[in-house]
Amino acid sequence: MEGSIGLPALKNLEKLDLGCGYENGFCELRKLQTLAIINSYWNTSLPECFSELTSLKYLDISYNNFSGNISMFKNLTLLEYLDISSNSFFGDIYMLKNLKSLEYLDLSSNKFSGDISHFMNLTSLRGLWLSNNNIEIPSSLAPLFNLSKLQKLYADNNMIYNAETEMHSIDTPTFQLRSISLSCCGDGGSFPQSLNHQHDLRDVDLSNINFNGDQFPNWLLENNKKLEALYLVNSSLSGHFHLPSTSRRGLSRLDVSSNSLDGNIPNEIGAKLPSLLVLNMSNNFFGGGIPISIGDMISLQILDFSNNKLSGGISRHLPMGLLIFDVSNNQLFGDIPSSMENMSLMLTLDLSNNTLFGGIPRWMGKMSNLHELVMANNHFEGPIPMELCKLNYTLKFLDLSANNISESLPSCFSFSRLTHVYLSRNKLKGAITSFFNSNYLVTLDLSNNHLTGNIPNWIGTLSTLVYLLLDNNHFEGGIPVQLCKLNRLRLIDVSNNNLSGTIPPCLMNTISNVTSRANYDDSGYDGSIGYFSVDVPIKFTMKSISYFYKATVLTYLSGIDLSCNKLTGEIPHQFQYLRDIIVLNFSHNSLIGPIPPALADLSQIESLDLSHNNLSGNIPSRLLGLHFLSFFSVAYNNLSGTTPRRTGQFATFEESSYVGNHFLCGEPLPKNCSTNGSSSSMSKNTTDKGFIDMKVFYASFVGSYIVMPLCIAMVLYINPHWRQAWFYHVEAATMSCYYFVLDHILPKRFR
């Protein structure tokens, strides 16, 4: 309907679609029965005269930016369909309590409040959508029991509460629901027994509600033969999981993860639930083995048994169409069965944190669609097979850390889509010849291996790199200046190697001040790669203690660790680009020169370790301005002067922070500075130039060599006896040296 049509021509219209927007003239359309203004993003409120459209039966103004309260709707008593979802309306829902002709009501994604009991008289309702508001809904659903026609209820992300003590005129529901979704939060009391009267349910989602450890409602599966999807995630349920007495061929999705369910997974699960596409029973306390009947679920695509207490081996009878197979964090043992060789559709394979052993199978190279391969914390051994190079165009995530993998990295490892590599805590050796074409790499963790050679210059071409961990290897040579090109870096750890040379000054300009996430997908950093969540811990030393940090913490951590190498030269003096750095560790090297006062520019630093070097001069007083510093050490250097005043964070540092500096004095060291009248002068002088003035030292040294010969000459001139004795001894010494050379050194022909 074009906006140019005159209002007189519209007065008798019964249907008006303003999908492209029609802003004026509503008050003239008194006989209008159908009005749709969808996805037009009107940034306004509805006119008050909207309440005069009393003939309306169908009203859809969803996906706009309408705001204000909804008082104008209370007179539209003929409405049968009302959809005002995805707007910015607010107010109490009691305004709608008299719309008794409503059959479909959608208030989702607004800012409504009030109690759902206001709808108890809307007896014509068939579908009710309330998601993403602040409406109070009892988990029992008792206020809706008399809505006999109600079939669909979607009320996710509201305020679910326990109302077991409330009295209602009807004890059992008169409705037979097909779909119910209350996923959100809050204390739901006992699991709603009203659902025990439902026999026509297709979709159920009661996730993230605290049901106080109530027993798992196995009767839901037993009573509802048409059930298609059941989600009871993080619902504080306990007890055993039982199968229905007969097969449920319509059930395609079952997710009971993150509860306290125990016992064994029933052996007949594949026979009773043969049509499952998704089976998620992770984060429970299931024991026993993986049922063999899982292999009978020929349609199964996602199987997640992670974080349980499963034992035994990996079943050799698994569905060939699996896309995601996650059995991480269990007690499984044995090798990887060769029956998995033909799972060519696999996207994610997670076997981490078990006690699996054997070699990495060569046939994994046939999993041509594999995106994530996670096998960390097992007992796998032997080399990484060359066949994995066939995954160069698909693999995004590789975690083989904490195994016994040996030999060198395959040179063909050049994954073009790889974003995360975790190969730490293995026995890898040789030089780094892999990953040089991995232009989307975010994390490269090769720490705690036996790698040798130089840190390759091509690492500087990995422009998306955020975390670089090469510590605890045998790398040598210098720190390549090419690292300075990595402007997204948040963490560099090359500690405990044999690196030499100076610290590249440009390295101080490398650490990014922009918070970066340790995860990547095709569109950027977002916390997951498809179904797979990136939360692998990274080991990093902070405050002299090594911790494992997961991605959620790594987001806020930045640092440089060059400790335990053979670095020389001075510490670079430019730190203006490191203002947000948290950790700086240059300890256990051979660095010289003063402590740069510019370190005071690191306003967010929490851990600063410069110990075990050859630094000289004073400790800059400007460091007192580091208000977040909780670990500080300059121990075992050649520092002089006084320690910083014990104020602010520096009042918390003990003797161990300064020990091993022989010319350093002041609290908390036991050595007191001078207490005589010149102490103040000395303190000021040492604060600026150190404890020893080197110019005075050199002048006195030269002067002493001039004065000493003059004193000897003067004494000999005054005392003739001493002068005679002096020349006698000089002559005797000269003759002795002459005859010694003549008898023992010169050849006979020269005598």
Q: Encode pLDDT of 486-527 as tens digits.
A: 989 999 999 999 999 999 988 887 776 554 444 433 333 334
| Residue 292 is assigned to a structural domain of this protein | no
Q: Answer with the one of 627, 647, 674 that is the final residue of a domain.
A: 674
Residues 604 and 556 in one domain: yes
Would you call 506 helix, strand, or coil by DSSP?
helix
Chosen domain end from 674, 697, 728: 674
682 by DSSP, 3-state: which?
Answer: helix
Instruction: Give the C-alpha separation, 495 to 497, whole Å.
Output: 6
Residue 262 included in any domain: no
Q: Are 485 and 507 in contact (CB under 8 A)?
A: no
Is residue 189 domain-resident?
Answer: no
Query: Rounded distance, CA 160 to CA 137, Å?
Result: 5
Lowest mean pLDDT among 351-365, 466-480, 575-589, 681-695: 681-695
* Residue 376 burial (C-beta neighbours within 10 Å; 0-12, 13-18, 19+): buried
Is residue 646 domain-shared with residue 737, that is, in the same domain?
no
pLDDT > 90? residue 700: no
Q: What is the CATH number of the domain that holds 568?
A: 3.80.10.10
For residue 665, is pLDDT > 90?
yes
Q: Do 573 and 626 have their domain in common?
A: yes
Q: Are residues 659 and 721 in the same domain?
A: no
What is the overall mean pLDDT for the chain?
A: 86
470 within a domain of the structure (yes/no) = yes
Q: Where do we find the tokens 């422009």?
A: 463
> Is residue 259 included in any domain, yes or no?
no
| Same domain assignment for residues 499 and 561 | yes
Asked if residue 545 belongs to a domain, the reply is yes
pLDDT at 747: 60
722 with 643, same domain: the answer is no
Residue 732: give the domain boundaries. Answer: 713-750
Q: Do 494 and 572 fall into the same domain?
A: yes
Name the percent of the chain lying above pLDDT 90.
66
**Whether 570 and 496 share a structural domain:** yes
Question: Residue 681: is its pLDDT beyond 50?
Answer: no
User: 27 or 220: which carries more pLDDT confidence?
Assistant: 220
Structural domains of the chain, count:
2
Instruction: Note whether 237 and 213 are within 8 A (CB).
Output: yes
Specify burial of residue 534 (Cβ count, 10 A radius: 0-12, 13-18, 19+): buried
**Pairing mode of beta strands 88-92, 111-115:** parallel
Q: 745 and 623, same structural domain?
A: no
Convert the pLDDT of each residue in 706-736 to its tens digit. 877 777 777 767 777 777 777 777 777 777 7
Answer for the pair 120, 142: CB distance below 8 angstroms, yes or no: no
Q: Which residue has the tokens 């509201």?
A: 158
Same domain, 670 and 598: yes
Whether pLDDT at 11 is above 90: no
pLDDT tens sequence across 608-640: 999 999 999 999 999 999 999 999 999 999 999
- 575 lies in some domain: yes
- Please determine, for residue 167, whether its predicted confidence score (pLDDT) is greater than 90: no
Do 727 and 625 sit in the same domain of this protein?
Answer: no
The structure's pTM equals 0.82
| Final residue of a structural domain among 645, 674, 703 | 674
CA-wise closest residue to 537 among 547, 528, 527, 525: 547
Q: Residue 302: which pLDDT band, with cuts at 50, 70 and 90? A: very high
Are 505 and 579 in the same domain? yes
Region at 43 (left for phi over 0; alpha for psi -120 to 50; beta for the rest): beta
Residue 505 within any structural domain of the chain: yes
Instruction: Tell me the per-residue pLDDT of 528-566, one tens digit each, with 9 for 90 and over.
Output: 444 556 678 888 888 778 777 777 777 778 899 999 999
Confidence check: pLDDT of 28 > 80: no
Output the pLDDT for position 4: 30
